[in-house]
Amino acid sequence: MQRSYRYYDFLMAGFVTVLLCSNLIGPAKVCALPLPEWLPWFGPLLIFGAGNLFFPVSYIFGDVLTEVYGFARARRVIWAGFGAMVFATVMSTIVVGLPMSPTEPFNEVLQPALETVFGGTWRIVCASMLAFWIGDFTNSYVMARMKVWTEGRALWTRTIGSTIVGQGVDSLVFYPIAFFGIWETSTLFKVLVFNWIFKVSVEVLMTPLTYAVVHWIKRREGEDHYDRDTRFTPFSLADK
């Protein structure tokens, strides 16, 4: 009989919500912050997509899910997130592509705004979905393997280590597919490295909160899964 959990569904909903919001709301705005003179490598201005402030939170959800419930149940959540992204992409394409009503003057303002915010190019859309899928599965796999290797000790090594690898893979997939040939190679490399460092830094800063959430859910659920017999394939929805 399959065991039921009190908080698994809430974590799934939180993961999908953060994923969709960071991919639909965040990328529409590019931010620029002045840098001190002792950081010349990135230039006088630090330019980044606003979504990068929140996307790492999805990795924290992924860490909690894998640590408590194991790779197989985290795998279901990743597929739920991927399905939500596909639906959001299809819906955005249809809404933007539908003809405007000539009797509504506000459409003259709304349509260009919708095209700007939700009319992403096919390269960016494909890069985003592929990078998420590969990066999140990599993160969960490393997290699960490291838990067995460390015998459940030193949670911080798993949360940070898996994020370093997962976010690294995510960045290496996304930026070349989305922007190679559009940006200068040096710019692409700088943005890639900065966003990787930034996302890992968010994980490091959030480590105390991750510890508190993981320990609280483990106590409440009575679960602390170890992936010793798990089939580490992404192409399954089985419990193992």
pLDDT at 195: 85
Render pLDDT for 158-213 as a digit per residue (tens, 0 to 9).
999 999 999 999 999 999 998 888 888 888 888 888 889 988 998 999 999 999 99
| pTM confidence score | 0.91
30, β-bridge pairs: 49
| Residue 141 located in a structural domain | yes
* Sequence-distant (≥ 6) Cβ neighbours of residue 143 within 8 angstroms: 62, 63, 66, 67, 71, 158, 159, 162
Q: 114 lies in which domain range?
A: 8-221
| Residue 231 located in a structural domain | no
Asked if 70 and 90 count as a contact pair (C-beta separation under 8 A), the reply is no
| Residue 174 located in a structural domain | yes
| Residue 236 located in a structural domain | no
| Residue 86 located in a structural domain | yes
For the chain, how far is it from start to end, CA to CA, in angstroms? 14
Please report the sign of the dihedral spanned by the C-alpha atoms of residue 53, residue 85, residue 141, residue 4: positive
pLDDT at 45: 72
| Residue 9 CA, distance from chain mean position | 18
Please tell me the total count of domains within the chain.
1
Residue numbers in the chain where pLDDT is lower than 50: none
Can you read off the two tokens belonging to residue 122? Answer: 């096919």
| Residue 239 located in a structural domain | no
| Residue 133 located in a structural domain | yes
